[in-house]
Structure 1
Amino acid sequence: MTHEKRIEIRWRDLDALRHVNNAVYATYLEEARDEWFVRALGPGGNFWDYVLARVAIDFRRELTQDDEALVVRTRLVRIGTSSLTFREEIVSLAGWVAAEAESVVVARDRDTGRSRPFTDAERADLSAVLVGD
């Protein structure tokens, strides 16, 4: 399942050079990833049991206020023992790629704060999403 989220470019997203600040790209990715989890895990899913462990962003082209909005595409590409790997793109409404990213999210044990293996139910739900794409 590739999830797409349209995001308006906000004035506060811009830096002194009047383009979208590089740190804001991470926020855009997070907003789309959060929605991906809601769709993938359904209304009963516990979204607080996952934490971002890694994000790598390749910036391809700048976005400005004139672009008005963008689309973030989020796709699950790998399920590990306790981690999920996502491929993500930030795309202008005109269709060109502004950034490509890879994110790793880890299942977290609430009591210890450490990573934990996926439960059988989580793995089944996540595998269905991966196979469905």
Structure 2
Amino acid sequence: MSAIDLTGQNFEQTVIDNDIVLVDFWASWCGPCRQFAPTFEAASEKNPDIVFGKVDTEAEQQLAAAASIRSIPTLMVFKKGHLIFNEAGALPPQALDSLIDQVKDLDVDKAIAEAQATQGDQAPGDPQ
């Protein structure tokens, strides 16, 4: 399945309604974005069980601002509605494939529970 265009109107619902969503924030004038596009598209074809979305940061400036995009391309990955990866820069194909494998294997509910338990162990005022 090829990547879909995400907008301010469908972004949140897409993230909520799908188990895994990869989002590429890009712009047509961005050279690294254009270089990453075929890698992202190829990954979408290899992983029909995952939603791949693209956000044109020029057309969707409010969405890009809400997502705190400071550099493009930026790749965000959501699992079960939770942001689990957020990194600027174009990934090579092998790195993107590895990331997708890690996301599929991640038990996001367990990771959240462990993070909450760790935060609960700290006394107020303790350094992070």
Is the TM-score greater than 0.5?
Answer: no
Q: TM-score, normalised by structure 2?
A: 0.23
Higher helix fraction: Structure 1 or Structure 2? Answer: 2
Q: TM-score, normalised by structure 1?
A: 0.22
Higher strand fraction: Structure 1 or Structure 2? Answer: 1
